[in-house]
A and B are shown apart, each in its own frame.
Chain A
Amino acid sequence: MSVAELNGAAQTLQNASTLKSEERRESLTFLGLSMPAVLAILIVVFLPIFWLSSLSFYNAAGELSMENYARIFESALYRRTFVVTFQITIAVTVICVLLGYPLCYWLTKVPDRTAAILMVFVLVPFWTSVLVRTYAWLVLLQRNGVINSSLMKLGVIQEPLQLAHNLTGSIIGMVHIMLPFLVLPLYATMRGVDTDLVRAAVGLGSSPRGAFWRVFFPMSLPGLFAGIVLVFILSLGFFVTPALLGGGKVQMLAQRIESTITVYSNWGAASALGVVLLLLALAMIWLMNRVFGLDKLFMR
């Protein structure tokens, strides 16, 4: 090897190590840019939840135990909370599908401009505070509220119906809050369905109804599923609307957790409930990620 070649080889070696450190520096820079936001989320969301979860494994005397969990599953009160939570969540999800699917399907049938205008009817409630909408339902549903007084004026009923401060009121209010969460992903998916395929199916001798069920419906399923999971997760841990429209008689998990802490200061029990709620939510998120892909949320 000549001197020049040796120099060249040395240079190349040095370059390789420079490049390595440059690469490390660059990926650290990007990580650094992301870090403040990621740390904020870790510290505010993850850290307290992990700490809270750990509380559930200690009894009142501060010893490691499963007492809190045992209590949850033995106590009739807590059991009822779980039953009510699932009843409401399932009812809300089913009603949202029954209302949302025909709406989205109809929106795909009207001209694009009309559909865009009609979507305002979905977006305005979506962007309006949950409190405001719950308040509106209180006004509509209460004993001497708009619905009862109108029905009585019309002579349909003699006595006011019990619409608010119970399960019915909670479900109506929650459906109103949750419906846009079903409609938005479902409509986006339906718009992507190739209508030529449906027309081709009809052209090939399928009846319009047959074509709908065999071609359109299966292709809309990913959006429907995303919407269902979203509605289910959000309903499961929902607090505001049932707390106000349930009138204290309907206790879902979220309210039970809140009252266990603010009224009874029983952190162990509350955190055990929290862990159960978290696991249920995470299971749904996992399912959503498996079937739909969470990263799709990042693509638009």
Chain B
Amino acid sequence: MEQVGQRKIDGLWLMVVGIAVLFFLILPTLIVIPMSFSGASFLEFPPTSFSFRWYETYFTSPEWMSATKTSLIAAVLTTAIATPLGSLCAYGLHCSTPRIRSTAQILVIMPIVVPVILIAVGVFSLYAKLGLNYTLTGIVIAHTALALPFVIVTVMSGLQNYDFDQELAARSLGASRAYALWTVTVPQVKFSIQTGAFLAFITSLDEVVISMLVSGGENATITRRMFNSLRDQLDPTIAAISTCLIVVSVGMLIGVQLIGRSKNADK
């Protein structure tokens, strides 16, 4: 009896801690959403009045709009470059000998685990020589290198779960390797490629440290402007921008999940 009581208390205690930690994780993430609709000219919570004024400030500010445009273009270009390059690399490594593969895997994973500040400073000094600082090209190149590991890792795990005999079957039936890859393998690792593309997009859109150093002037990214703004003061406009960023990330996350689910329903 004593043990059963003990177990119940343990279970209760566990649940309380679990729920508390979940709230700790989610609440601060979501608190900016109500604040972005506040009518007050300073930060207050809970908001006492409702307005779209901070959205208006955001969407009518040429600086913020230009930064948003830079960030979106950079994210789209990064995705457009990193997704095919990363997918091809994943396929190439998947078909390579185990020795080449394991060496390349460690190399490819490095951008995720090496402190970003080092990459940022390194890229900054490299760009200083090449005249790429403060250019869109510079941002896209750096973000592509950061995004590639995510694409490669997701596509490789997709390939590992895929019955490779299908590609062999297609080739035995007369398809060249490229045609088999395109008509049989790609449709089946499509979900992994989409997930990789999503990760590439978010990596670029949310990237702060490299953007802080190598973007600027006309080509300042939204994260660079937000970071500088937050260093000085707590502008409620940031709440509106943050809400937009949350909507974009979570919206894409849901989108990818839905695609994944409909694909699984197919199977």
Are B88 and A37 closer than 8 Å at their CB atoms? Answer: yes
Contact B113 A233 (CB under 8 A): yes
List residues of chain A with CB within 8 A of the CB of B227: 131, 240, 243-244
Q: Is the CB of A299 within 8 A of B157?
A: yes
Number of residues on chain A facing chain B (CB within 8 A): 90
Given contacts A139-B32, A208-B10, contact A237 B115 (CB under 8 A): yes
Most buried by A among B6, B11, B119: B119
Asked whether B253 lies within 8 Å of A131 as measured between CB atoms, the reply is no
Assess whether B72 is interfacial by the CB under 8 Å rule: no
Counting CB contacts under 8 A, is A106 at the interface?
Answer: yes
A8 interface contact, C-beta 8 A: no
- List 15 interface pairs A-B (beta carbons < 8 Å), by A numbering: A31-B96, A41-B107, A41-B110, A99-B17, A100-B21, A103-B17, A107-B18, A121-B22, A121-B25, A125-B26, A239-B117, A277-B117, A278-B114, A278-B118, A281-B114
Given contacts A38-B107, A41-B108, A44-B142, contact A207 B3 (CB under 8 A): yes
Selected interface stretch from A45-53, A155-163, A190-198: A45-53
A137 CA to B141 CA, complexed, in Å: 32
A237: chain B residues within 8 A (beta carbon): 114-118
How distant is B126 from chain A, measured CB to nearest CB, in Å? 4
Q: Is B242 an interface residue (CB 8 A)?
A: yes
Q: Decide if A297 touches B153 in the complex (CB within 8 Å).
A: yes
CB-CB < 8 A to A233: which residues of B?
113, 115
Interface on A for B, CB 8 Å cutoff? 27, 29-38, 40-49, 51-52, 99-100, 102-103, 105-107, 109, 118, 121-125, 127-140, 142, 145-146, 149, 176, 179-180, 207-209, 233, 236-240, 243-244, 253-254, 257-258, 261-262, 267, 270-271, 274, 277-278, 281, 285, 289, 294-295, 297-300
CA distance A262 to B245 in the complex (A): 28
Determine whether the beta carbon of B117 is less than 8 Å from that of A122: no
Q: State the 3 A-B residue pairs at the shortest beta-carbon distance, nearest first.
A: A237-B115, A48-B122, A33-B92
Interchain CA distance A132-B28 in the complex, whole Å = 9
Give CA–CA (A37, B82) in the complex, Å: 8
Chain A residues with CB under 8 Å of B231's CB are 243-244
Our pick among B86, B109, B249 for the contact of A294 (Cβ within 8 Å) is B109
Does A40 lie within 8 Å of B160, measured CB to CB?
no
Asked if B59 is an interface residue, CB under 8 A from chain A, the answer is: no
* Sample of 9 further A-B pairs with CB below 8 A, known A30-B93, A233-B115, A277-B115: A31-B100, A36-B89, A41-B148, A125-B29, A131-B208, A244-B230, A271-B121, A277-B118, A294-B106
B123 interface residue, CB < 8 Å from A?
yes
Of the residues B102, B118, B149, B152, contact of A274 by C-beta under 8 Å: B118
- Chain B 106-164 residues near chain A, CB threshold 8 A: 106-111, 113-126, 141-142, 144-145, 148-149, 152-153, 156-157, 160-161
How far, in angstroms, from A40 to B206 measured CA to CA in the complex?
20
Nearest CB in chain B to that of A173: its residue: B28
Q: Tell me, yes or no, whether B80 is within 8 Å of chain A by CB.
A: no
In the bound complex, residues from chain A placing their C-beta under 8 Å from that of B152 are 37
> For residue B17, which residue of chain A has the nearest CB?
A102
Evaluate whether A36 and B202 lie within 8 angstroms (CB atoms) in the complex, with A44-B119, A278-B118, A297-B109 already known.
no
Inter-subunit contact A300/B157 (CB<8 Å): yes
Is B121 in contact with A34, judged by CB distance below 8 angstroms?
A: no
CA A237 – CA B121 in complex, angstroms? Answer: 13
CA distance A130 to B227 in the complex (A): 10
B175 at the interface (CB under 8 A from A): no
B: residues with CB less than 8 A from A are 3, 6-7, 10-11, 14-15, 17-18, 21-26, 28-29, 31-32, 35, 43, 45, 85-86, 88-89, 91-93, 95-97, 100, 102, 104-111, 113-126, 141-142, 144-145, 148-149, 152-153, 156-157, 160-161, 202, 205-206, 208-209, 213, 223, 226-227, 230-231, 234, 238-239, 242, 245-246, 249-250, 253
- Residues in A neighbouring B239, C-beta threshold 8 A: 135, 139
Min Cβ gap B70→A in Å is: 15
Q: Could you say which of A46, A124, A131, A207 contacts B206, with CB atoms under 8 Å apart?
A: A131
- Given the interface pairs A48-B123, A135-B230, A176-B28, the reply to whether A27 lies near B14 with Cβ below 8 Å is no
**For residue B105, which residues in chain A have a CB less than 8 angstroms away from its CB?**
294-295, 298
Q: Within the complex, which residue of A40, A49, A295 is in contact with B119, where a contact is CB–CB below 8 Å?
A: A49
Inter-chain contacts of B92 with A (CB < 8 A) = 29-35
C-alpha spacing A145/B44, complex, angstroms = 7
Q: A105-B14, A298-B153 are known contacts. Are A125 and B108 too (CB-CB below 8 A)? A: no
Name which residue of chain A comes closest to B144, CB basis.
A40
Contact B111 A239 (CB under 8 A): no
| A139-B32, A278-B115 known; A36-B88 Cβ under 8 A | yes
Known contacts A46-B110, A233-B113; A176 and B24 CB within 8 A of each other: yes
